[in-house]
Amino acid sequence: MRAFDYARPGAVDAAIATHAKADSAYLAGGTTLLDLTKIDIMQPEQVVDINGLGLDRIERLEDGRVRVGALVTNTALARHELIETHYPVLSQALLSGASTQLRNKATTGGNVMQRVRCPYFRDGASPCNKREPGSGCSAIGGVNRETFAVLGTSEQCIAAHPSDMCVAMAAIGATVSVHGPKGTREIDFGAFHLLPGSTPEREHALEPDELITHVTLNAPERDARSGYLKLRDRASYQFALASCAAHLTLKGGVIRSPRIALGGVATKPWRALEAERILEGKTPSKALFEQAAKAAFKTATAYEHNAFKIPLGQHAIIAELGELTGLATTQEAS
């Protein structure tokens, strides 16, 4: 590892000011930062430890929303009563990711900022536009199976976003609170992660030296149902080949307020907006779910080794909607 300076400020403003003094990285759980620093992909001159800033609380606001501190660990968030009761999709997504040891260290803010698992990005040698803009994308024309996307790709990058937590948050709806040299601002969760386009090196909407302080989840709807389905090569400690986070209510036998987000198949946590429009106000049926699943992937671009992700992602949508509406149980019984 390269040498770096270490600072541990005692307040948010002090952390931001310290971060601005050099080429710096914020340190929370360190599960991504230390990993990438050890393999020389990230090369910070200074590491700013933010673990003493008091950002480790979960609280319900007066308007019903739930505010999660950036330093709340994945384990604490997944097991919190508010999350298990009102946002089961988020608890399930968190518990499906990584190992217990990593969940005990990984933080909410760090998970939101998680970097891609593309092997060409991480090998430090292959051409990679995300690591070295203008050098090319080795995955296009290379091996592009597990950690590569079919939605939201560009000629510059096809790396899939790796987070399970973020897919669930996209389905719930949330805002990201950030603080920086210019003050505090709120970013809609759907706008936080950026598509690669022609600038794959820019992955998020943070400005220089800004720090995530909280993620606030939309207030839960009464009688809402939600769940997370993750499909992968092995049953544990594996990134998704395709995943579906779904959130909806059933009123009078029809679907209301459906929200569907996909993981493993896209370059950012992916809202399936066209699928949601098809589902709204309709009676659950396998044919309806198949129509919605097909619409979710109508803009997909398959590559040599990951074309299977399109039918797999469609299956994830159909299966999770069947589970939430009781259709899967009914069909099994019949």
Q: What is the DSSP string of 65-127?
A: -EEEETT-BHHHHHH-HHHHHH-HHHHHHHHTSS-HHHHHH-BHHHHHTPPP--HHHHSSSS-
Domain boundaries, the chain: 5-52, 225-333
225-333, CATH topology level: Enolase-like; domain 1 (3.30.390)
Neighbours of 218 (CB within 10 A): 18
Torsion angle (degrees, nearest 10) of CA 317, 325, 111, 264: -10
For residue 33, what are its two tokens?
A: 């930062």
CATH classification (class only), 5-52: alpha beta
Whether 5-52 shares its CATH topology with 225-333 is answered: no
> pLDDT digit string (tens) for 203-229?
999 999 999 999 999 999 999 999 999
Residue 329 scores a pLDDT above 90: no
CB under 8 Å to 332, separation ≥6 — which residues?
none
d(CA 254, CA 251) in angstroms, rounded, equals 5
Q: Flag the least confident range among 235-239, 256-260, 314-318.
A: 235-239
Mean pLDDT of 111-116: 97
How many angstroms separate the CA atoms of 209 and 303, rounded? Answer: 36
Q: Which token pair is 36?
A: 């990438």
- Model confidence pLDDT, tens digit, residues 294-305: 999 999 999 999
Using the predicted structure, report yes or no on whether residue 330 has a pLDDT greater than 70. no
Q: Does the pLDDT at position 84 exceed 70?
A: yes
Instruction: Decide: residue 280, CB within 10 A, 0-12 exposed, 13-18 middle, 19+ buried.
Output: middle
pLDDT over 90 for what percent of the chain? 96
- The SS3 assignment for 279 reads helix
pTM: 0.96
Alpha-carbon gap, residue 180 to 176, rounded angstroms: 13
DSSP state for residue 40 in the 8-state scheme: T
Q: What is the average pLDDT across 88-116?
A: 96
Window from 159-163, 182-186, 232-236 with minimum mean pLDDT:
232-236
Which residues pair with residue 211 across a beta bridge?
179
d(CA 265, CA 230): 11
8 A C-beta contact, residue 189 and residue 173? yes
Q: Apex CA 308: angle with CA 307 and CA 313, to 5°?
A: 110
